[in-house]
């Protein structure tokens, strides 16, 4: 008989789901551990959506407060991270709607289909020497600027996929979207990102292993 994902195995660190159940039963200590585990991912997702660190701090706290209040609705058979990030995403989108600052870009694509494996071709910013580290920092800044120009729904899908390593199905759950729409958002978002980086003089790596360096260098 398989062990349920929320059950604790003696000698192991309790799972997110175990802690969520304890928090649901009234343990503030269990919820505090979940906050420690997810405060950086939650803030990281929100700040890249709202583009305002001070606002993101407030929204991250709001997201955890919403999560605490909604623990009764959490299903321990599902992944806690997806449930929490959905709450964080909704808090960010609510704030953007209130501020009416959601950026729009025109994305015209010939084809909405793309192999899942191609999505893993975003630049690897790790660099082994000072020169490459400097180039990596430049690319990181260009990547942040490119992300900032995307439609929020594309940006959210990309951040959940590459920043949080969520599956397509988990992203669909977080964003409350059909699976096909998630794939379209990822495809269009990555294409828009590649175009923005190309305009800045960078290119995404290819299957052959090329780096994301500046073109013409």
Full DSSP string of 137-192: HHHHHHHHHHHHTS-HHHHHHHIIIIIS---HHHHHHHHT--HHHHHHHHHHHHHH
Give the C-alpha distances (Å, rounded to integers) separating 130 from 84, 127, 133, 134: 37, 8, 5, 6
Say whether pLDDT at 6 is over 60: no
Q: Which CATH architecture has domain 16-99?
A: Orthogonal Bundle (1.10)
- Enumerate the domain spans of the chain: 16-99, 116-199
Model pLDDT for residues 47-67, shown as the tens digit of each residue: 888 888 999 999 999 999 999
Model pLDDT for residues 114-169, shown as the tens digit of each residue: 444 444 334 444 445 555 556 667 777 788 888 888 888 888 899 888 888 888 99
Give the C-alpha distances (Å, rounded to integers) separating 93 from 59, 72, 87, 102: 10, 23, 10, 9
Give the C-alpha distances (Å, rounded to integers) separating 215 from 6, 23, 148: 49, 51, 22
Q: Which CATH architecture has domain 116-199?
A: Orthogonal Bundle (1.10)
């Amino acid at each position: 008989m398989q062990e349920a994902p929320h059950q604790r195995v003696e000698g192991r660190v309790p799972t997110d789901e175990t802690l969520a159940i304890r928090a649901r039963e009234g343990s503030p200590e269990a919820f505090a551990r979940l906050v420690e585990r997810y405060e950086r991912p939650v803030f990281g997702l929100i700040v890249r959506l709202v583009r305002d660190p001070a606002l993101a701090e407030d929204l991250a706290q709001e997201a955890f407060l919403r999560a605490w209040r909604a623990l009764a609705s959490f299903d321990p058979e599902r992944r806690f991270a997806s449930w929490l990030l959905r709450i964080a995403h909704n808090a960010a989108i609510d704030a953007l709607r209130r501020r009416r600052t959601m950026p729009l870009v025109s994305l015209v694509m010939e084809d909405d289909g793309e192999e899942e494996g191609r999505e893993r071709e975003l630049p690897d910013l790790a660099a082994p020497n000072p020169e490459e580290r400097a180039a990596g920092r430049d690319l990181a800044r260009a990547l942040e600027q490119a992300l900032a120009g995307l439609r929020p729904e594309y940006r959210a899908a990309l951040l959940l996929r590459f920043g949080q390593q969520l599956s397509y199905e988990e992203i669909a759950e977080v964003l409350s979207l059909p699976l096909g729409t998630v794939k379209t958002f990822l495809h269009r978002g990555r294409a828009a990102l590649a175009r923005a980086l190309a305009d800045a003089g960078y290119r995404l790596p290819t299957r052959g292993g090329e780096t994301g360096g500046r073109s013409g260098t």
